Structure 1
């Protein structure tokens, strides 16, 4: 019996076996060995030398698929372990994640770019503390300070170019910061920087400003534009004020850039006495409308605006005779606002200021 040799010294198929294979294959007999052609022998030789992936039949990929399934189960097990660890280490946070709506109650909110359609969802009431002064409040998810004042993209409007509009919007936010977030002003100091941004040639407004700090009244109340606390009575907790709101603009009279600001500020406070720890919150929603006038049509000064209107809605800041300061109540002394019995959600920004104004004091549904 002769044997077909392999030049590389590997095993070979005997000639008589290949002859029988070829003969029985022609006769229709399965499993009969046949003599391969020269090309078949070359292929056989190549397979023995280099069994790369391109020469393997598709059915040979089953083991890798099995490995991927095993890896998938390993991944599921790993994630499950992480979930159990999260529950063990941060049970409160996990409860927040599973709250109605599927969103964590401490996840920061995106900037407000349009009026909301509804009030923030209800939460379980929690007592604020010196460490967590916004605990139990929707404001816990609001941005800090100026970051919560949303400024829209600039485009040429009225007499202003795109660049000038962008500058005016930036100066507008600076005014809001100087008037309602500056620590010195919040301590009751005179808001000189903010006032300097108001057109000095607007006589009615200048008369209001000169009277408001000397003899505050309902019509000449500094709180219409500025947030101030009497430092002998009240002090802020920490240095963070939560804010939420937006700036919008359009063309106004005589080609002016008319800018409207609608911002809610949340101030955590305690009594001024040393060691005070009872935290309350004062919530101020203020709308200020201003014109950045064309100096060719209106007498003004560079970098200043003319006031068009200003409105305010205050929760736990005093609801009696104006004294020029926000006057929060603490504990049992808190004013329930039962004069009219109207319920107000101070965090609800879905209603306009026009709807809020002119209805007197009310009962805050949450603080």
Structure 2
């Protein structure tokens, strides 16, 4: 006996059973849908990666990056490069690398001709303790270190090693002629003369005449050698400041032609004044000497010697009257005012070539006045 209930002993009415079968086939509206295995895997990976239960179809577009900062930075950099290109000397001066003696840092070596004179200096007079005070030379190198020698390369009849030796000996000549303490005291410049070609007749005649008598403008030893009368002036300290450089090229008959353009600054005091307040004057000398290292197969010469092509002098505070063969510092004239119309020169301006009119930067009626010393 069957119990009470529907078909086949079921307690579900027939109408409900038929509705269940129909919805199982077609799916009921709003009924939950079981996600597929792939969907469940994607959802799991996203949850592990982001830590948030994000739908596998969710997409968040990236925000566009603002590039305004890069544009401004690039514009500022371009303007800075333009300023450096147009005003290099001023820009270097802003950071303490200019040609002003107010800074303690030494100047870099002169590798090319400057385009302008050094900046203005405070109006300070030199002293025995500070002989270069108030001068651009305070930041120049000492002695031979201030003469820049360029890299050597094969030129003319010489290979690179021979050119290097010629450059070194050219600087040796400048040192022997302008820095040797014995020569500065008026002694014979024997070391410098030994580097000159003994077979160059005109130069040998010049040397004999210049070093044996007071000389003439054409036979003045100061055109090549720096000399002071020991009874008149004495050097202050052990340092002579220099600034300049050597250049070279192929000359006549394959020779190596070396040009020296160097300024020497000599601080001197009166020879008889040994007091602490002795007056100090700076004699400033700029020389341009062209030397030819000749091919011995084409020119009669001796090993290790060179011929002089030309030599010029620009001098300040060294005297400009009739040649005396020695520099004559103008002691006792520091407070004198230049006469109206007197031509002024800046002895530290190396941007202009030497005036070879008479080699002394003098006017027809006397010396030009130094704008500074």
Root-mean-square deviation (CA), in Å? 2.2
Distance in 2 of aligned mates of 1:245 and 1:178: 16
Per-residue deviation at 1:214? 1.5
Residues 155 and 165 in structure 1, CA contact (< 8 A), matched pair in contact too:
yes
Q: How does 1:324-343 map to 2 (within 5 A)?
A: 324-332=325-333, 341-343=342-344
Q: Deviations over 1:323-361 (max 9, x none)?
A: 100110113378877597111000000001247866523
Change (3 A) 1:364 1:333: closer
Distance 1:334 1:126 in 2: 13
Of stretches 334-343 and 163-172 in structure 1, the one that deviates more from structure 2 is 334-343
Tell me the equivalent position of 2:368.
Answer: 362
Counterpart CA distance in 2 for 1:157 and 1:129 is 46
- The equivalent residue for 1:271 is 270
Partners of 2:313 and 2:356 within 8 A in 1 = no
Q: Secondary structure at the match of 1:178?
A: helix
Query: Who is 1:225 aligned against?
Result: 224
Secondary structure, aligned partner of 1:173 = helix
Q: 1:313 touches 1:357 (CA, 8 Å); kept in 2?
A: no
**Unpaired runs of 5+ in structure 2?**
1-91, 97-101
Question: Is 1:123–1:136's contact at 8 Å kept on the other side of the alignment?
Answer: yes
User: 2:218, 2:133 → 1: CA distance?
Assistant: 35
Matches within 5 A, 1:165-244: 165-215=163-213, 216-244=215-243
Instruction: State TM-score, norm by structure 1.
Output: 0.70
Q: Tell me how far apart the structure 2 counterparts of residues 114 and 128 of structure 1 sit (CA, whole Å).
A: 29
**Counterpart position of 2:117:** 119
- Identify the residue that residue 47 of structure 2 maps to in structure 1: none
Note if contact 1:146-1:243 (Cα within 8 Å) is conserved in structure 2. yes
Distance 1:319 1:130, change over 3 A: same
Matched, 1:262 2:282: no
Shift of residue 362 of structure 1?
1.0
Task: Call closer, same or farther: CA 1:172–1:203 in 2, change over 3 Å.
Answer: same
Corresponding residue SS for 1:235:
strand
Which residues of 2 match residues 1-367 of structure 1 at below 5 A? 101-103=94-96, 105-215=103-213, 216-276=215-275, 277-332=278-333, 341-354=342-355, 360=362, 361-367=367-373
**CA gap 1:268/1:223 in 2 versus in 1, 3 angstroms:** same
CA distance in 1, matches of 2:254, 2:166: 14
Task: Name the CA distance, whole Å, in 2 between partners of 1:314 and 1:156.
Answer: 35
Q: Structure 2 CA distance, aligned partners of 1:325 and 1:135?
A: 25
Structure 2 SS opposite 1:213: helix
1:172-206 CA deviation, whole Å, 9 max, x = no partner?
Answer: 00110100000000011000110010000000000
- 1:185-237: per-residue Cα shift (whole Å, max 9, x none)? 00110001100100000000000000001221111000000000000100000
What TM-score do you get using the length of structure 2 for normalisation? 0.69
Partners of 1:328 and 1:334 within 8 A in 2: no
Could you tell me whether the CA contact under 8 Å between 2:312 and 2:356 is conserved in 1? no
Paired residue total: 271
Once the two structures are TM-superposed, the CA of residue 274 in structure 1 deviates from its matched residue by 4.1
Aligned to 1:219, the other structure's residue is in SS state: helix
Residues 184 and 338 (structure 1), Cα distance of their counterparts in 2 relative to 1, 3 Å cut: farther
Q: Tell me which moved more, 105-114 or 238-247.
A: 105-114
Tell whether the 8 Å contact from 1:313 to 1:356 is kept in structure 2 after alignment: no
